[in-house]
């Protein structure tokens, strides 16, 4: 699942919190800042855990303000581990 989040989501620990929660759920994938000020995350793993992360993305961490969340189903790539990228 690819998730694009817009709002005040950079500089508010969005990526770090997202990565910690995804790792706790045993998900693979990554999260990164987008040049437009949004955040993009890709989650792979059990459907229930992926949905939990999508639900979290709609709220974000305490300091975030999420305006919009766009999701797209994608074929899994076999990602092992969850990383924060630039």
- 6-57: pLDDT as tens digits: 999 999 999 999 999 999 999 999 999 999 999 999 999 999 999 999 999 9
pLDDT score for 80: 84
* Residues belonging to the active site: 15, 33
Residue 84 CA to residue 13 CA, distance in Å, equals 11
**Binning pLDDT at 50, 70 and 90, where does residue 86 land?**
confident
The architecture (CATH level 2) of 2-85 comes to 2-Layer Sandwich (3.30)
Residue 70 CA to residue 11 CA, distance in Å, equals 20
Q: Where are the domains of the chain?
A: 2-85
Residue 4 burial (CB count, 10 A)? 16
pTM for the whole thing? 0.94
Which of 24, 57, 55, 28 is closest to 40 using CA atoms?
57
Distances (CA, A) of 46 to 13, 26, 74: 25, 9, 14
pLDDT score for 79: 87
Instruction: Please give the average per-residue pLDDT across 62-84, as a whole number.
Output: 95
């Amino acid at each position: 699942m690819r998730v694009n989040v817009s709002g005040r989501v950079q500089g508010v620990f969005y990526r770090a919190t997202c990565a910690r929660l995804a790792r706790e759920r045993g998900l693979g994938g990554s999260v990164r800042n987008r040049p437009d000020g949004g955040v993009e995350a890709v989650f792979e793993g059990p459907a229930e855990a992926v949905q939990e992360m999508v639900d979290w993305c709609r709220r974000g961490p305490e300091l975030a303000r999420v305006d919009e969340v766009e999701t797209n189903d994608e074929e899994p790539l076999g990602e092992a581990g969850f990383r924060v990228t630039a």
